[in-house]
């Protein structure tokens, strides 16, 4: 199947061709026709499956076909995301896909001055991508009117609930029109997720692709058993491999991320840390450097596991095993995306064995053990 088969309009096809996309992923194949038909959708799909395009493409098409020449643009589509990284990633996709359609859009999130964001809103936008906190803040200040929203997307809904955004979501929902199309995407179908979905979706089409219990078949996974105090030496040893040109390294804590990045730089390996305590400017600079390959290693906490979209990222390294097995799936989902191959390496100390056991249980297989290394 190609994107032409999905009945997308020519401006979108041209934008997809420019990005080198010709064949839709399963979530795109299943979602796009229903969204174009105006249906509410509940999509269960992990990161890396192409779900942003699954809602961005049909929304852009529907908006372009109804575009009216009015004195001021009003917000017709609202996409709510849990983190600023994910909001920016979604925004980049809307910009790329809609470049031939003349749509105006902006992204709003906290941690930065609101001036640029409010100036964009004053000029008028068709599509608004937002994180909940800043959205409510600007709504309360009178900068945002949601009465004309026709398409509402709640992306990474499970992450929203994990981060305590349920009350914020309810406040936003109360300001949206009753008549609208709602698209709800989550990596899991846990009871609390289904309860929320059932309150906001009307006769939804349910689509499930690669739920969180599965890992991409394109990712080669292995684990190294190592004493905790030797992990920094093992990381340095692993990064000596000339095949690892670009690696995303995960730690459990912000302090740990900073320490690992500092250690790598002291050993001549260009690295930056990214986590919630970093300013928005610092986070954007680190991401930019990682994307343009001027930074070889990005060290991140789990806040980055759903929001970093790096083309052809070859390696993910779990410097520390996550306490939640689902987080492992999200972490390694940063590589092996869009059909590319990837490698996920995990460093497991004795005290992390129970976490590894939970991961093996969730993904229904035992991760291959690398027994031959200097710090085994």
* Cβ atoms of residues 315 and 287 within 8 Å: no
Please spell the DSSP secondary structure of 215-259, one letter per residue. --TTEEEEEEE--GGGHHHHHHHHTT-TT-SSEEEE-SSHHHHHH
- For the domain with range 219-369, which CATH number is right: 3.40.50.300, 3.40.30.10, 3.40.190.10, 3.40.50.1400? 3.40.50.300
User: Whole-angstrom Cα distance, residue 193 to residue 31?
Assistant: 19
**What is the pTM assigned to this prediction?**
0.67
User: Residue 35, SS3?
Assistant: helix
Q: What is the pLDDT along the chain (376 residues), one digit of tens a residue?
A: 889 899 999 999 999 998 888 889 889 999 999 999 999 999 988 766 788 999 999 999 999 988 655 557 899 999 999 888 889 989 999 999 999 998 999 999 998 899 999 999 999 999 999 999 999 999 999 999 999 999 999 998 888 887 788 899 999 999 999 999 999 998 777 778 888 899 999 999 999 886 555 566 678 999 999 999 999 999 999 998 778 888 999 999 889 999 999 999 999 999 999 887 777 678 778 888 988 889 999 998 876 555 566 767 889 999 999 988 878 888 888 887 656 678 999 999 999 999 999 999 988 889 999 998 999 8
- Per the DSSP assignment, residues forming a β-bridge with 273 are 299
Superfamily of chain region 3-209: P-loop containing nucleotide triphosphate hydrolases (3.40.50.300)
Maximal CA-CA distance, the chain: 68
* Cβ atoms of residues 144 and 128 within 8 Å: yes
- Per the DSSP assignment, residues forming a β-bridge with 2 are none
Task: Quote the tokens at residue 242.
Answer: 């000339």
Burial group, residue 213, by CB count within 10 angstroms (0-12, 13-18, 19+): middle
The boundaries of every CATH 3.40.50.300 domain in the chain are 3-209, 219-369
* Cβ atoms of residues 73 and 44 within 8 Å: no
């Amino acid at each position: 199947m190609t994107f032409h088969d999905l009945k997308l309009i020519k401006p979108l096809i041209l934008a997809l061709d420019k990005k080198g996309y010709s064949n839709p992923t399963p979530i795109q194949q299943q979602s796009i026709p229903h969204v174009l038909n105006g249906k509410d959708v509940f999509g269960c799909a992990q990161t890396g499956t192409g779900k942003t395009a699954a809602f961005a493409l049909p929304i852009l098409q529907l908006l372009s076909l109804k575009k009216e020449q009015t004195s001021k643009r009003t917000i017709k589509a609202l996409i709510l995301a849990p983190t600023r990284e994910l909001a920016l990633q979604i925004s980049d996709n809307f910009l790329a896909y809609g470049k031939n359609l003349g749509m105006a859009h902006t992204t709003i999130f906290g941690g930065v001055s609101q001036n640029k964001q409010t100036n964009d809103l004053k000029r008028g936008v068709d599509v608004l991508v937002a994180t909940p906190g800043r959205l409510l803040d600007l709504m309360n200040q009178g900068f945002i009117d949601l009465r004309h929203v026709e398409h509402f997307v709640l992306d990474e809904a499970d992450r929203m609930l994990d981060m305590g955004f349920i009350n914020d979501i309810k406040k936003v929902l109360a300001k949206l029109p009753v008549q609208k199309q709602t698209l709800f995407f989550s990596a899991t179908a846990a009871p609390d997720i289904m309860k929320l979905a059932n309150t906001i979706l009307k006769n939804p089409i349910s689509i499930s692709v690669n739920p969180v219990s599965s890992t991409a078949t394109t990712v080669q996974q292995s684990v190294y058993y190592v004493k905790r105090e030797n992990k920094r030496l093992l990381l340095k040893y692993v990064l000596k491999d000339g095949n690892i040109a670009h690696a995303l390294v995960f730690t459990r804590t912000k302090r740990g991320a900073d320490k690992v990045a500092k250690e790598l730089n002291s050993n001549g390996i260009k690295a930056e840390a990214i986590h919630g305590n970093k300013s928005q400017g610092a986070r954007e600079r680190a991401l930019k450097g990682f994307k343009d390959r001027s930074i070889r290693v990005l060290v991140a906490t789990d806040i980055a596991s759903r929001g970093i979209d790096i083309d052809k990222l070859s390696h993910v390294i779990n410097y520390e095993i996550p306490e939640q097995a689902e987080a492992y799936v999200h972490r390694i989902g940063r590589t092996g995306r869009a059909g590319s191959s990837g490698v996920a390496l995990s460093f497991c100390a004795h005290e992390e064995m129970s976490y590894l056991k939970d991961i093996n249980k969730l993904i229904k297989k035992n991760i291959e053990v690398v027994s031959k290394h200097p710090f085994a």
